[in-house]
């Protein structure tokens, strides 16, 4: 097995497709947080309050 250094090989990365996939994966999380953000923050802070 040979060790292949960076830049040697025929593989290319299509950065537009990678960024599109990252964007598609991130948007639903942002939408859920935008809709339920207040409930999420209230839940986190209510668990942190010492009675």
**What pLDDT, in 10s, does the model give residues 13-32?**
899 999 999 999 999 999 99
Whether residue 2 is predicted with pLDDT greater than 70 in this model: the reply is no
In a domain, 4, yes or no: no
Provide the residue range defining the domain that includes 32.
14-51
In a domain, 23, yes or no: yes
**Three-class DSSP labels, the chain:** CCCCCCCCCCCCCCHHHHHHHHHHHHHHHHHHHHHHHHHHHHHHHHHHCCC
In a domain, 34, yes or no: yes
Q: Do residues 38 and 32 make contact, with C-beta atoms less than 8 angstroms apart?
A: no
In a domain, 18, yes or no: yes
Counting the structural domains of the chain, the total is 1
pLDDT confidence of residue 43: 87
pLDDT, tens digit, 9 for 90 and up, residues 35-47: 999 998 888 888 7
Q: What is the pTM of this model?
A: 0.53
The Cβ-side half-sphere exposure at 4, using a 13 Å CA radius, reads 6
In a domain, 38, yes or no: yes
In a domain, 26, yes or no: yes
- Give residue 26's Cα distance to chain centre: 5
The Cα–Cα gap between 10 and 34 comes to: 42
In a domain, 2, yes or no: no
């Amino acid at each position: 097995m040979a060790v292949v250094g960076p830049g040697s090989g025929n593989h290319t990365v299509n950065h537009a497709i990678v960024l599109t996939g990252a964007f598609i994966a991130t948007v639903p999380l942002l939408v859920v947080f935008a809709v339920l953000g207040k409930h999420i923050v209230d839940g986190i802070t209510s668990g942190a309050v010492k009675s």
